[in-house]
Structure 1
Amino acid sequence: MADVKCNHCHLVFDEKVMIKEGELNFCCKGCQGVYHILKDDGLDSFYEKLGNKTIAPPIEVEDDVERFDTKSFEDTFIKTTENGYNKIDLIIEGIHCAACVWLNEKVLFETEGIISADINFTNNKAKIVWDNEKIKLSQIILKIRSIGYNAYAYDSTVADEQAAKSKRDYFIRMMVAVFASVNIMMLSVAKYTGFFTGIDEQIREYIHIAELVFTTPVLFYSGWIFFRGAYYGLRNRVLNMDFLVSSGATLTYIYSLYVLFGGKGESYFDSVTMIITFVLVGKYLEVIGKKSAVDTLDKIKSSIPLEATVVKDGVKKAIALNNIELGDIIEIRSGEKVCIDGKIISGEGTFDESSLTGESVPVFKKMGDTIYSGTINNDALIRYETTKTYKDSTLNSIVTLLEDSLSSKPEIEYKANEVSKGFTVSILSLSLLTFLVWYFFGLDLGFDYENTNHFEKSFIVAISVIVIACPCALALATPIASLIGISELAKKGLLFKEAKFIETMAKANTLVMDKTGTITKGELKVKKARILDDNIHKLNLLYSLLDASSHPISKSVKKYLLKKYDNLELKNIIDVKNIQAKGMVAKYTNVDDKLFHIIGGNMELIKDNRINYNFESQNSVYIFAINRRVIATFELADEIREDAKELVENLKAEGLDIVMLTGDNESVAKNVASKVGIKKVVSNIDPIGKANYIKKLREEGKIVVMAGDGINDSVALASSDVSIAMGNSADITISVSDIVLLNSSLKSLNFAFMISKRTYKFIKENLLLSLIYNMITIPLAMAGFVIPLVAALSMSLSSLLVVANSMRIKLKG
């Protein structure tokens, strides 16, 4: 019986085992089913994209998919988006090409209940968002399996183990190559010495055989990673750096075999070995360079304990973090790390928060205070109640954020990758052109064209062109600098959600800052109080209105009242309304059914309610009135951050326009702005007005960075090119901001601009270095001034030069 190709997977099978369906042939019922699924869903264009490539038949997995819907699996791997949808990272097995990615994304996108599906072809990692009320995760997994692939949850621990295994494999291959290179160089010394002093032909042949013995494992074992990379590149119609290395080494190896078995000329087994060895060593050193860049992430990960001591019914028990629930009581001793966020219910002491904020000064915590995962209890036995699960804890959120940012790409990297794609084709064309010119129009025009020595010279010059060209330096220029930049930013307490924000910040020309909590400390204090009517019933209404608000001014006035009066009571006020950027209004009915209209806020609110009262101050003002009669006024001041003026001066020197936006009155705003050196001030503006102001700046062509508290300014933050959430880790604003400051120091914001500019500068330097290197070395190789051995060394040095230059990001200045 003849062999027949399956119409789905394109694999060839004996005709007698095939399932016949008219003119169609299938190797199994799985392929037959998938074929009809694609046909029925209008996705049969997949086979046009697949071309002649083959894929694996549908996977038959015995695993029970119901485990994907269990509570333990959900707690460990599934997150919730702002819109209430479920989100997970999956690894999809069986993806070999762009057509596989297209098919999976297409099928998932058209499945009801799936909101988005984004698959990264380089690591087969899929980010999937779905509506759990319409479809379960187990159904999504079955859908993926139904078209011939398998999926399982991405686990960073497993990924780290795989990365370590890959690194060990890399190291072994490199050491095999180094060992062979050392030996083959000794043989080469003997061969080249004999070339000048005279060497017996038989001895020369033995040397060639010994070189073959050492070269073969180097090419086919150590160099296997280049062949594999070239193979997958070709399958996806991409000619990459691996193709240049593998093709150059293979052609040289074949020519050397020809010489060994009787052809005229010199063998170049030593060049083959050196090409593979030099590039492998260079690649391994790149790995070491990248590792130093992600050490910050490893350091943060190591701050998370594996289990905690949970107290239940007076019994202490060690429980894994994933099994700890909201409301559990955890006990930590002196010197232990906090594993999950919570509030202290017993004990007090100092905590080292340097792993989060970078501040070395311990922070005192008492009953009712919040403590954060990753911090260290310095000196007391503490019990606290968990307010988050492990998955949502501060430190785990930081780790997740860093992992995502290290895998993201800035815009300039996409442009560099586009350039490098066409680079390889150009080099191969130049190599062929070089060979033809040297062979037919070379320096030895009187040579007999059938003379092997002339062919040899043309061939080796062409090989040198292939080997010396280095698209890897071009491709490496951006990611290595981005990795180092992100790790340096993390050390300063700055977490970038994506690497692309480094480029945006470097190009930014406008910084918009909120006043309270950003330029100032956000700790308002009553500096002067004027109680016009100290009737306790009226003060109780003031206290009740203040208690209904979460605004910093209301909190500060409430705190002042509680210190001064010890007999205040909360009243049942009704119709409480918040007037944005102005204050609050409410009503109260006493036992005699008498209605009171109560108002508390700034002068704008007083004027809006037609209350005849004038009050001017350089400070923030809170005025309380009942039935249009002012009862009390409070003047509040907020201390300016010590490093605010230095930040403004530094950023002005860098050419940035700085604008302060605030809902506070003009007098207060200008007073604060003048003290720190900000000239552009927009006051009396509500959150929507802030957002519209930023949109207007962007329409004028400005690249805007917005720094605010991440909650009240969320609309404005979302409108900017880059949003920065100020404050320490108590304010978890990761979901609304592009960059999170883990400490309250404006020095971190200064570092964000400084390191972003340095990183972007070095990215451009790296790209320039790689381009200059290729512009100089490729013509030299074409002119015949470089042998393959030197070309391989030069190629590796160019990549290492890019890595070394990127390391300079860590240097100050």
Structure 2
Amino acid sequence: MNSRLDHPQDHVSCFHCGQDVPEGTHFSVVVKGQNQPMCCPGCQAVTETIIQSGLEHYYKHRQGEAGLIPEMTGAELPSAVKDELQLYNNPNIQKEFVISLEEDVKEASLVIEGITCAACVWLLEHHLVKQPGVTQASVNLTNHRARIRWRANEIALSDIMSAIYKIGYQGHPYNPDKEEQLFEQERKQAVRRLGIAGVGMMQVMMMAVALYAGTLQGIEDKFETFIRWTSLIIATPVVLYSAKPFFVAALRDIRTRHLSMDVPVSIAIGLAYLASVWATITQSGEVYFDSVTMFTFFLLIGRYLEMQARHRTGRAGNSLLNLLPASAIKIVEGHEALVPATELKPGDIVLVKPGHTIPADGVIKTGASSIDESALTGEYLPVSRTIGDQVVGGTINAENPIQLEVTEVGAQTRLSAIVRLLDRAHEEKPQVAKVADKVASYFVAAVLVTATIVSLVWWQIEPSHAFWVTLSVLVVTCPCALSLATPTALTAATGTLRQNGLLITRGHVLDSLATATHVVFDKTGTLTEGNLSLKSTVTLGNIDTQFALETAAALESHSEHPIAKAFHRYGIKAADSLQAELGQGLEGEVEGKRYRIGKPEYAAALCHRQMTISDAPDQHGQWLLLCDQHEPIAWFCLNDQLRKDTERTLQELKKLGLKIQMLTGDSSAAVHEIAEQLSIDTVIANVSPKEKLAHVQALQKEGARVIMVGDGINDIPVLAGAQTSIAMGGATDLAKTNADAVLIGSELSRLTDAILLSKKTQYIIRQNLGWSIMYNLLALPLASAGFIAPYMAAIGMSASSLVVVGNALRLTKLVRRNRVK
């Protein structure tokens, strides 16, 4: 008789952490005269520490049901933790994150792990300032950073960090990258320039409206003079500060004999400003302060977006190398010694305990374990590694302690190799030039040549009109509309997609999406949700489903393996004498009886049966068997579910003429099952990050325009190498920073939206370019002939820009498409 999964009954919640209190547990603490239940000795110790420190008001400030879930508690810390914290007293280590304010007074920046709400901040600040020698402690709830000031002659930094550990949090040094500081400085300067230009533009445009109206209806000279001088005062900081990058770039381009749009832009801004200043001082001619400020503001917006994309790319490599731990346990003459990981060298023997990060590339010399390589491969299941196998720095030891001999350190490690792959992919990435840039490259030279010729001709005809006519030519043909044709359309489309769940981080995306021929998907976390879950439970005989789940959860309770996490929610029993068989399963005692869970062959051997995966209820998903010493008890089916809109999205992409491929590091049977279910013909499994990049580059050499969709660090090189790369919303931060776009809501259907809107965007861009070119071709002869006054040229240039912007606003709505329900 088979039975299916039932919901577990409700239990009493721990007063401190909010988790269920296991049956038979009798831990408690008196809080404000009431005996409050605790789930474990850890919560009991933390609560007692809070009460004894006079911080019981913490529980008043706590928000939500769950408070602090301590990782390390009690009056005494483990010796390994003490040894690691002692390292932070080393002046050579402190120089990276500690500053000396005055004699014996220091200040440190720490990142605090475990903060969940405002109550955590309150507790940390009040607890730290109670420590002798600590003069100030502030914790930022937004970024979880703490700034602590103390007197070094009264308390050591290790003691401060120990105090943080004792109340259930973990503190780590915060060491901002020097390049990041430069990025921040550049960003702030760009924001200041943009802000000044924006405010100046709005004020000067209001003044310009009054002048234009006065020209038509009459205006007193004193008011006209006042408005001109006011416009001059407002426009001057815009030209001298906001527009400074254009003049600097123009001078650089002239020195290097390279003609760019900065040259006519600088000439137009400079001449229009100087002419307006002259007209204001002499009270003759026209002023063009409105054109100067508006043109500067719109161009600065485009430059700011480009800078943001550049900064995002620059941060990626440093973040990847931060996967390596700060310290390592080195074996010296048979004894353990905690040393900085940077001091390791090839040939050293290091001990890596369960849950610790491997500090360098090496070969296992003693022991066997499962290694979580998800940071590099993107696959959630750890892989078995034993004596003689290679392991990679930055991966995590999941099960048993191992000793390894270091083979590569520093720039020779695999992490560094991936960083180099990333840099190379960025260098080789196709530069999809905007249509406006291609047209403008020829237009710039034509404008300068035409303006020069017009100036010479008018100097011969009427020298007094030569300057004003030349200025009219430069203003009326100033490539403002041409420059705005592409950025305004891209900005409108980008904003629309952002509001609908797709964040575009690089300007070329909409252009390359519209011309794409192939879409290549990673599997885990992209086509699927990326989390193993318990799909079904099939019991054997008269076994109760809840009993089977609780027994399995007891065996898996001390494991952080992805398979074990699927059972953690059912854990109310405890297991003893646990033994893990690498790559096979677990064995232990629950309530005096021995059980095994894992692969069918391994589990069935306990009851002297011969069972294989073919005996499972069906051949779909990943089946585990639970047995006692007498008989099999239950089958558990684990599965990684497809995203709800995956199948529909792939069908829509095929209708748009795109070819679909799957490129994954997974080698299990689930790959081909998913491919068959989704009708994907081209599937490449069990590939490394380097092989992924090579495959995409091969496609591109054959003329394909590739969209790569992924979510793991293993996808970083290929995300950087594809024409267009898209990261899922649940992707690693590194994958997101290297992707050209991010699916914020992790809905694949947004990809179809983006492709449809990108095609419409290209159509709008062509319209904008056509209009701006037509306007310039019509206005240029009239201005050259002297029929267009400078003020008319300014109005015409502004009008052409408004037409371009208005047309781009058509992209603020998505192309209609039926949603997946």
TM-score by length of 2: 0.48
